Amino acid sequence: MAVTIKDIAKRAGVSHSTVSRALRVNHLVSSETARRIRQVAQEMGYRPSAVARSLKTKRTQVLGVIVSSISDPFFGEILNGIEVSAQAGGYSLFIAASQHDPVKERQIVQTMMEQRTDGVIICSSSFSPEHGRELLSYGFPVVVVNHQGSESFNYSIYHDDVDGSSQITRHLISLGHKRIAYLGNSQSGRTTQDRLRGFLDVMSDANLEVPDSYIHHVEGGDPKLGQESVEYFTRLSTKPTAIVCFNDTLAIGVVKGCEKAGLRIPDDLSVTGFDNITYSAFTAPSLTTFDQPKFSIGQEAAQLLLDLLKAEDGIIPDTPNVKVLQGKLLVRESTGIPSED
Amino acid sequence: MAVTIKDIAKRAGVSHSTVSRALRVNHLVSSETARRIRQVAQEMGYRPSAVARSLKTKRTQVLGVIVSSISDPFFGEILNGIEVSAQAGGYSLFIAASQHDPVKERQIVQTMMEQRTDGVIICSSSFSPEHGRELLSYGFPVVVVNHQGSESFNYSIYHDDVDGSSQITRHLISLGHKRIAYLGNSQSGRTTQDRLRGFLDVMSDANLEVPDSYIHHVEGGDPKLGQESVEYFTRLSTKPTAIVCFNDTLAIGVVKGCEKAGLRIPDDLSVTGFDNITYSAFTAPSLTTFDQPKFSIGQEAAQLLLDLLKAEDGIIPDTPNVKVLQGKLLVRESTGIPSED
DNA sequence: GCAGTCAATGCACACGTGTGCATAATGAGA
DNA sequence: TCTCATTATGCACACGTGTGCATTGACTGC
């Protein structure tokens, strides 16, 4: 049985109110008794009950985080950033993975509401607008990462996927590539669409054609799927000289697939990733990718949410609703001048 | 302001007790009123307050999970397993990363205690025994993954590091290797020690010597550190023909380091990983490693904790305190017959 | 028709903490 | 010495939910 302030009160010969005050706001209690109470609390191994406190104060000091998958290194690093900011602000994290499953999503949203989380960060690349609205209508401050449905949410941290994808595409074009394909992840909703758009816009601006067969989507982000997709691309009648991959994990698979198929990178095929996860530097050859400031994205998202919580009316005067964090192109070894043919 | 059972009671013309019962145990209230109450609750968008419920029932339905690093893919997959089991059992997760930092560790332990988590899973490869005792003495059911200090904890999920490391070493010896080095991560406490021991035992049994200089530790698990360590090994006067790495992330770095140094794997040097994280199959060459059932480890850990919570006296009669999950050797391309010299 | 049984519901208190208000104690000023 | 301001402390209620006990009403068996 855990020690309560009443136990301390009895032992110290005061009322529980005095104990409560002594342990929180010391200016309302004499310094002598405060000292004694603190000592008794220490001796008895007292730990305040966050549960009881939350009930009274209507603040749980907990942030809910919804993520597609915990084991995805991209989200892992964002989570790191979120954790650091949250911990610094005295908040703990409730983390749940939706696994792209609407049923789980529903469960998670429900849990967050029941647990009376102070706010929610949505990091899931696919998240149903319906559930988002549910969170909002329940009065949760919500910060969205990944630009997912930023129209309906007030605050979001936005890494410019369109721009990043454009930069990558321009890089390939500047190397001389004309036949460039796109490998997407159909489960990543808005994000894959944005990256596709950045790619298509630049191609169109450069008057380069992208046949339908050059846009290929797989269902998930596992490297294995990237590896398998190489077969698809090599079977095309006119083969692309470069593949823009939705993200690094797919690209890592593509690199392996090429190795198996005897395709040399970048001589026979250029490959690009996206996100700059740790492992993108350790393929052979290392991946040209777009470096997203993942840790900062997480930090900023949590910080924004904390600011939002401080501003009791839910509006921060001098902060833009959408914060854009710039990434930057990282040219490594997987891209090069296309071979003549 | 959230809807409470009192609001529902007023609207439905009954007492709040009846509402409470109707929404939980329906056999104590007439089916007609129960139906009506449920409907009113639905209309008003009622969400029970887990906070208030926890205060009364002294159960939070929350498990605390302490992990070294969220972004480490090894822990990521374990977390996945934990999440699935926990969610199936109706529990939510409080996740915190210790980052091998004793100060953070202390904060986390404190938070878990204050939040009145129903139980704790420790997945951190380094976790101070002092903080562990603190959790136990506060009355937390604790399940330990990673065999970290299993002496002091009652229940643990144990992946046999000594055995795994032995198998890997025997594999190398069977290929003809005699000069084998070990690359450890000094931050991983017990785990790196166990894997080192498995290695040394087998070497000793085979009458193979391991000079001190063949045992090298780096501070962390980042692939970069593995890559840099190649320089160390190549500077040795008599070079090893194989390196047993503490885990895959270090091995991935070693593979890259060898590529940069012009060392061919496995012709010039054999390299082994440990854990079989996703990316271990995508290096060039792919890594020979020891496959840990990470997902199952997480699942079993959470399940064990749930069982522990059901058994109110904290003892499960027919369950062994330590559950061993067997992994298995995975021979891929990074190991081969040593070249003559 | 009456005692006894049982289902349905309300009352009141509890969980641990925080806080407005009242009260007691102390000191200062006239 | 009396009044008033100030400080220290206790009392009592609140937060939202769960539950033992009492009460009420209806129904069963004789």
CATH code (residue A13): 1.10.260.40
Residues B109 and B32 in one domain: no
Q: How far is A81 from chain B (nearest CA, A)?
A: 10
pLDDT, greater one: B187 or B27: B187
* Any domain includes B99: yes
**Residue B47 to residue A110, Cβ atoms within 8 A:** yes
Q: How far is A329 from chain B (nearest CA, A)?
A: 20
Tens digit of each residue's pLDDT (9 = 90 or more) over B254-274: 999 999 999 999 999 999 999
Give the pLDDT confidence score for residue B312 in this predicted structure.
60
* Any domain includes B341: no
Give the pLDDT confidence score for residue A323 in this predicted structure.
85
Residue B3: CB atoms within 10 Å? 17
**Residue A223 to residue B278, Cβ atoms within 8 A:** yes
Distance CA A188, CA A248 (A): 13
Residues A120 and A198 in one domain: no
B3 CA – D20 C1', rounded, Å? 26
Give the pLDDT confidence score for residue A314 in this predicted structure.
55
- Chain B partners within 8 Å of A273 (Cβ): none
**Residue A51 to residue B282, Cβ atoms within 8 A:** no
Residues B32 and B71 in one domain: no
- Say if residue A315's pLDDT is above 70: no
Residues B152 and B271 in one domain: no
* Any domain includes A340: no
- Say if residue A316's pLDDT is above 70: no
Distance CA B166, CA B274 (A): 12
Residues A132 and A34 in one domain: no
- Say if residue B198's pLDDT is above 70: yes
B48: Cβ under 7 Å from strand D?
yes
- Chain A partners within 8 Å of B281 (Cβ): 223, 256
Residues at the strand C interface (Cβ < 7 Å)? A 1-2, 4-6, 16-17, 20-21, 23-25, 48-49, 52-53, 55-57; B 13-18, 21, 27-34, 52, 55-56, 58
Q: What is the mean pLDDT of chain A?
A: 92
* Any domain includes A200: yes
Find the mean pLDDT for residues B152-160.
81
B217: Cβ under 7 Å from strand D?
no
Give the pLDDT confidence score for residue B10 in this predicted structure.
93
- Say if residue B45's pLDDT is above 90: yes
- Chain B partners within 8 Å of A82 (Cβ): none
- The rounded percent of chain B whose pLDDT value lies above 90 is 80
Give the pLDDT confidence score for residue A189 in this predicted structure.
85
* Any domain includes B27: yes
Tens digit of each residue's pLDDT (9 = 90 or more) over A119-146: 999 998 788 888 988 999 998 999 999 7
Residue whose C-alpha is closest to residue B328's, from B166, B182, B185: B166
Tens digit of each residue's pLDDT (9 = 90 or more) over A272-293: 999 999 999 999 999 999 999 9
Q: Nearest residue of B to residue A278 by CA position? A: B223
* Any domain includes A54: no
Residues A182 and A277 in one domain: yes
What positions of strand C are covered by protein, i.e. any atom < 7 Å from a CB?
A: 7-12, 14-20
Nucleotide of closest approach to B24 (CA, C1'): D18
- Say if residue A25's pLDDT is above 90: no
- Say if residue B316's pLDDT is above 80: no
Q: How far is B44 from chain A (nearest CA, A)?
A: 11
Least confident of A185-189, A226-230, B3-7: A185-189
- Give A104's pLDDT tier (boundaries 50, 70, 90): very high
Distance CA B275, CA B191 (A): 12
B6 CA – C11 C1', rounded, Å? 14
B139 CA – D9 C1', rounded, Å? 34
- The rounded percent of chain B whose pLDDT value lies above 70 is 95
Give the pLDDT confidence score for residue A128 in this predicted structure.
85
Q: Nearest residue of B to residue A113 by CA position? A: B47
Domain range enclosing A305: 60-160+294-326
Residues B258 and B185 in one domain: yes
A139 CA – D29 C1', rounded, Å? 58
For B281: left if phi > 0, alpha if psi spans -120 to 50, otherwise beta; the answer is alpha
Residues B302 and B286 in one domain: no
Q: How far is B336 from chain A (nearest CA, A)?
A: 19
Give the pLDDT confidence score for residue A27 in this predicted structure.
78
Give the pLDDT confidence score for residue B313 in this predicted structure.
57
- Chain B partners within 8 Å of A117 (Cβ): none
Q: What are the percentages of helix, strand and coil residues in chain B, rounded to 5? A: 50, 15, 35
**Does an H or E element contain B136, and which?**
helix B129-137
Find the mean pLDDT for residues A241-269.
97
At B216 the three-state DSSP class reads strand
Give the pLDDT confidence score for residue B148 in this predicted structure.
59
CATH number assigned to the domain comprising residue A284: 3.40.50.2300
Q: Which residue is nearest to nucleotide D8 (CA to C1')?
A: A29
List CB contacts of A191: < 8 A, sequence separation 6 or more. A125, A146, A147, A148, A161, A246
A329 to each of A332, B240, B325, how far by Cα in Å? 10, 39, 43
B136 CA – D19 C1', rounded, Å? 30
State the total domains in chain B: 3
Most B CBs within 10 A among A49, A53, A71, A333, hence the mutation to make, goes to A71
A31: Cβ under 7 Å from strand D?
yes
**Residue A71 to residue B70, Cβ atoms within 8 A:** no
**Residue A51 to residue B60, Cβ atoms within 8 A:** yes
**Does an H or E element contain B306, and which?**
helix B294-310
Buried-state track A189-217, b at ≥16 Cβ within 10 A, e below 16? bbbbebbbebbbebbeeeebebeeebebb
Q: How far is A100 from chain B (nearest CA, A)?
A: 13
Residues B168 and B279 in one domain: yes
Distance CA B184, CA B219 (A): 8
Residue whose C-alpha is closest to residue A78's, from A60, A56, A93, A100: A93
Residues A195 and A287 in one domain: yes
* Any domain includes B24: yes
Please say whether the beta carbons of A245 and A271 come within 8 A: yes
At B289 the three-state DSSP class reads strand
Count of pairs with CB atoms under 8 A, one residue in A, one in B: 144
Find the mean pLDDT for residues A255-263.
97
Residues B154 and B298 in one domain: yes
* Any domain includes A335: no
Residues A165 and A262 in one domain: yes
A33: Cβ under 7 Å from strand D?
yes
